[in-house]
């Protein structure tokens, strides 16, 4: 048995708030399926199924994600149902609530070392800045910035579309390709020098 209702805007929804299947309006008129607005006006009370996840659950979801960033949705469901005994929820409903209501989405992780924000590392950065501030260094007049960029023929986006249950495979010419590096130096007066450097692969005899 499925519970469907009309949301007041002429749209038929199922018990999860998703768009329901097509309903024969001649056999089951919308006002007879459920007209939430009229029933609320008659009774003065909110009618319909209350949300499964409330503010308390959302707060726990945020705390859980902050503590365990790498959890997949099944792990999130295990954690949240263990913490709140009696809570029953499907993966699809939890995922939709997490991404749409809590605005938490799964992204590619950027790994930072433990030392990155440590007290010693921050003090080291501060001392480095203070040391250079005591010199005549001025990045607007007497500094040269050096950088490089690299590319190869097989460069592709790291994300790709695929059907559910299938691996996203991007076809390239070779799994390994020769990398070309382009260093450059820039100053307030403009580009100082730029050149291409190609690595020569050495062969070793046994």
The reported pLDDT for the residue numbered 21 is 57
Residue 84's closest CA among 67, 102, 103, 64? 64
The reported pLDDT for the residue numbered 16 is 66
The reported pLDDT for the residue numbered 151 is 82
The reported pLDDT for the residue numbered 128 is 93
Domain ranges (residues) in the chain: 5-43, 55-101, 138-198
Rounded to an integer, what distance in angstroms lies between the CA atom of residue 10 and that of residue 21? 14
Per-residue pLDDT tens listing for the chain (206 residues): 556 665 555 566 666 666 665 555 555 554 444 444 455 555 555 555 677 888 899 999 889 888 888 888 888 899 999 999 888 888 888 888 888 888 888 777 777 788 888 899 999 999 999 999 899 988 888 888 888 888 877 777 777 777 777 778 777 776 677 788 888 888 888 877 666 666 666 666 65
The reported pLDDT for the residue numbered 124 is 94
Are 14 and 4 in contact by the 8 Å Cβ rule? The answer is: yes
Exposed (0-12), middle (13-18) or buried (19+): which is 98, by Cβ within 10 Å?
Answer: buried
């Amino acid at each position: 048995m499925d519970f469907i209702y009309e949301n007041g805007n002429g749209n038929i929804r199922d018990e999860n708030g998703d768009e329901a299947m097509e309903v024969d309006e001649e056999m089951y008129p919308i006002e007879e399926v459920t007209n939430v607005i009229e029933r609320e006006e008659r009774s003065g009370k909110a009618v319909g199924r209350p949300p499964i996840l409330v503010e308390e659950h959302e707060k726990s979801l945020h705390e859980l994600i902050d503590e365990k960033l790498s959890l997949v949705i099944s792990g999130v469901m295990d954690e949240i149902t263990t913490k709140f005994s009696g809570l029953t929820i499907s993966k699809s409903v939890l995922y939709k609530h997490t991404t749409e209501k809590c605005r938490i989405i799964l992204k590619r992780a950027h790994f930072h070392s433990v030392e990155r924000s440590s007290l010693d590392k921050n003090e080291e950065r501060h001392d480095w800045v203070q040391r250079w501030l005591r010199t005549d260094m001025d990045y607007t007049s007497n500094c040269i910035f050096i950088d490089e960029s690299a590319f190869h023929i097989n460069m592709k986006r790291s994300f790709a579309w695929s059907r559910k249950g299938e691996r996203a495979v991007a076809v390239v010419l070779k799994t390994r390709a020769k990398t070309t590096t382009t260093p450059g130096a820039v100053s307030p007066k403009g580009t100082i020098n730029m050149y291409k450097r190609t690595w020569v692969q050495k062969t070793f005899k046994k």
